[in-house]
Structure 1
Amino acid sequence: MASFGMKVIRGLFGAAEHVAPALAGRAAFNLFCRTPGRRSLTAGERRAIEQARTFMQEARHHCLRTRSGCVMVHEFRPARKAIGTVLVIHGWRSRTEYMRSMIDGFRGAGFRVMSLDLPGHGHSSGRRLNMVTAVDAAQTAGEWFGPFAAVVGHSFGGAVAVNAAVGSVPGIAPLAAERLVLIAAPNAMSDVFEGFGRSVNLGRRTYSSMAGQVRRISGRALADFNGSRQLASVPVPALVIHAPDDREVPAGDAMMLAAAGDHVRLHWVEGLGHRRILSDPAVVERSVGFVTERQEPALVH
């Protein structure tokens, strides 16, 4: 967002704190859920999409109907008989094309890979995304293509993987997954909200109203969306991979996720930041190895 536009937004929210905090909180939540438009792609993002054109042509593309509209799931099959199915979920301002290295790694190990474009991202419809619509999209993919040997999530996609697996949203069944791989994933959504609130200058009452929108749409308090507590309550084996130099999701989040119990492993990778971590061969190898270490061959239809 342009600096001038951000100054205007900060000024408006600062003034609204004193005159209409409830209305401003709803507006802030809508802004928080707004996804980037296709016209906002950077030159680097457009280049990555173009470079992945042939890769995407190898997939079968499935449009699934969810409560938020059409979500696209891209199916990548291995060269040999599949030993299981893995669901891959990208992060905010991302898409399947950016998960190419991870997808190829699991295909090479014999997995069918289903890669989900979250609502408002990639080839899916809409311009809004929140945890409820994300979990609904993941569960819909599970109904069609699950159960999954693993769910691999990067950044916000990692939080979605946890929330889907534990069934955090009332009315949406838990996603059937044997393992989770959480790459550069945030621990607590409240921290994400607070960071956004600071960036747009939300006052205490406006922030409280914004957080209240979470309970309105999900039936749960914002504080309930805490990965460490969620993983502790449903001990699905999980691998947390994080770079200490990640500037978008603090390394402390990985430590909190790992504190959920002995069923969670933590693997540090130096110098890979928040996005380069996805294409690192050692990270891909570690992720695949975690899923395959006790994988039994199974026929995939």
Structure 2
Amino acid sequence: MATQPLTASPVASSVKSTIVRSKPRSQPFLRPTFRILDRLAPTLAARLAQRLFFTPPRAVLREEEREILDAGRRGTIEHRGDRLAIWRWGEGPRALLVHGWGGHAGQMTALVEPLVAAGYEVVALDLPGHGLSSGDRASVRHFADAIVHVAQGLGGIDALIAHSLGSAGSTLALSRGLVVRRAVYFAPPARFDAIWARFRGGLGMSAATWTRFQRRAEAWLGLAFAEMAPADLAPDLRVPLLVIHGTGDREVAVQEGELLQRRWPQARLHRAEGLGHLRVLKDATCIDAARRFLSTSKR
């Protein structure tokens, strides 16, 4: 693993310019164009859908997030031809922070100070195709592979804290043998049905093109969609889990977190009344619930 310390000004400007650059632009002609392709060239439509679905947007890095990243020890880990950006703070058992789809390590930084104070070495990463990491396409399977690889590169991790689709990648990683003592998921999906429906509806995709898309995507992933659903993987997992989910979440409904908690043998649920998809990551009560859960019987 190659590491390099963060310095205040050049790295800060590099981080900011890299992440702020590409909030996705609206594409008003995409749906009508796609529907024409869907009708006249369904194979081409399926190919376009695959590229659209697995290309993550780049999210904005906020100033307060950048400042916390600047205070960390920045490094990179090589993974299958990609360079994964990581940051580290503190010393002790390792807690790995995993952001969600279209996110970045900065979104997890409100957890850094409380976990360092609790005696953890905190590690955050930019997943493939996100933030400062290389690549332009990603998936739950890519997330899982990266999480396992980073954990191995660090010499193991004690705790796993993930958000949204990063939780799905973490669940797949755990199902493949990743060992952690405890896990915390913020706003996790239990199944992908709502994601598929939103994607199909946004493009106006026909059932026939959906079938082509699914066949192409599963061949590219080397994994069936049905093999990645967290709710279906959960019954075989024995890692104690805390699910933190906001009742005001418009991206991943709180019912998803409730379902995952029911299916996971050693899981409990913390309902964050009124909070949305990202606000749960900044809320002091939610962060304290995560800290207290992870500090129970800490190694």
Q: Please state which band the TM-score falls in when normalised by the shorter chain.
A: 0.7 to 0.9
Name the counterpart of 2:202. Answer: 199
Once the 2 structures are TM-superposed, how far is the Cα of residue 205 of structure 1 from its aligned partner?
A: 1.3
More displaced stretch, 194-203 vs 13-22: 13-22
Match of 1:159 among 134, 143, 168: 168
Aligned match for 1:18, one of 39, 48, 63: 39
**Equivalent position of 1:148 in the other structure:** 157
Find the aligned partners of 1:230 and 1:198 in 2 and give their Cα distance: 27
Partner secondary structure for residue 39 of structure 2: helix
**Alpha carbons 1:146, 1:176 under 8 Å: kept:** no
Structure 2 unmatched runs, 5+: 1-23
Partner SS state of residue 110, structure 2? helix
Cα offset for 1:2? 5.1
What SS class does the counterpart of residue 52 from structure 1 fall into? helix
Partner of 2:142: 133
Q: For 2:163 and 2:90, how far apart are their aligned partners in 1? A: 21
Q: Could you tell me how far apart the structure 1 residues matched to 2:37 and 2:157 are?
A: 46
Determine which of 54, 61, 74 is the counterpart of 1:61. 74
- 2: CA distance between counterparts of 1:53 and 1:273? 22
The SS at the match of 1:75 is: strand
Contact 1:87 1:151 in 2 (8 A): yes
In structure 1, the residue matched to 2:236 is 233
Q: Which residue of 1 aligns with 2:83?
A: 70
CA distance in 2, matches of 1:150, 1:217: 31
Q: Structure 1 stretches of 5 or more lacking a match?
A: 168-173, 297-301
Task: Give the alignment partner of residue 93 of structure 1, picking from 96, 102, 105.
Answer: 102
Residue 250 of structure 2 corresponds to which residue in structure 1? 247
**What does residue 171 of structure 1 align with?**
none
| Displacement after TM superposition at 1:113 (Å) | 0.9
Quick one: which amino acid aligns to residue 13 of structure 1?
F
1:27 aligns with 2:36: no
Task: Tell me by how many angstroms 1:69 deviates.
Answer: 0.9
Contact 2:85–2:126 (8 Å) recurs in 1: yes
Identity of aligned residues (%): 28
Aligned-partner SS, 1:259: helix
- Cα contact 1:119–1:133 (8 A) shared by 2: yes
1:141-167 CA distance string (max 9 Å, x none): 011114222111011111111111112
Change (3 A) 1:189 1:162: same
Q: Distance in 2 between matches of 1:215 and 1:111?
A: 38
Q: Deviations over 1:43-72 (max 9, x none)?
A: xx35x1x33333222212221111251111
| 1:101 aligned partner, one-letter code | A
Q: Which amino acid aligns with 2:49?
A: A
Counterpart amino acid of 1:26? R
Is 1:175 aligned to residue 167 of structure 2?
A: no
Of 128, 132, 135, which aligns to 1:123? Answer: 132
Residues 84-133 of structure 1, C-alpha deviation per residue, up to 9 Å, x if partnerless? Answer: 11110011222112211112221110000110111122211122221222
Alpha-carbon distance between aligned partners in 2 of 1:90 and 1:68, rounded to the nearest angstrom: 21
The question of whether the paired residues in 1 share the 8 Å contact of 2:163 and 2:187 is answered with yes
Query: What is the Cα-based RMSD across aligned positions, in Å?
Result: 1.8
**Structure 1-normalised TM-score?**
0.86
Between the aligned partners of 1:251 and 1:290, the Cα distance in structure 2 is: 20
Quick one: which amino acid aligns to residue 253 of structure 1? Answer: E
**Contact 1:162–1:180 under 8 Å retained in 2:** no
Q: Deviations over 1:237-268 (max 9, x none)?
A: 11111011100001111121012144111110
Name the SS of the counterpart of 2:31 in structure 1: helix
Between stretches 107-116 and 52-61, larger displacement belongs to 52-61
> Greater relative contact order: 1 or 2 (C-alpha under 8 angstroms, separation 6 or more)?
1
Distance 1:22 1:14 in 2: 12
Q: Secondary structure at the match of 1:73?
A: strand
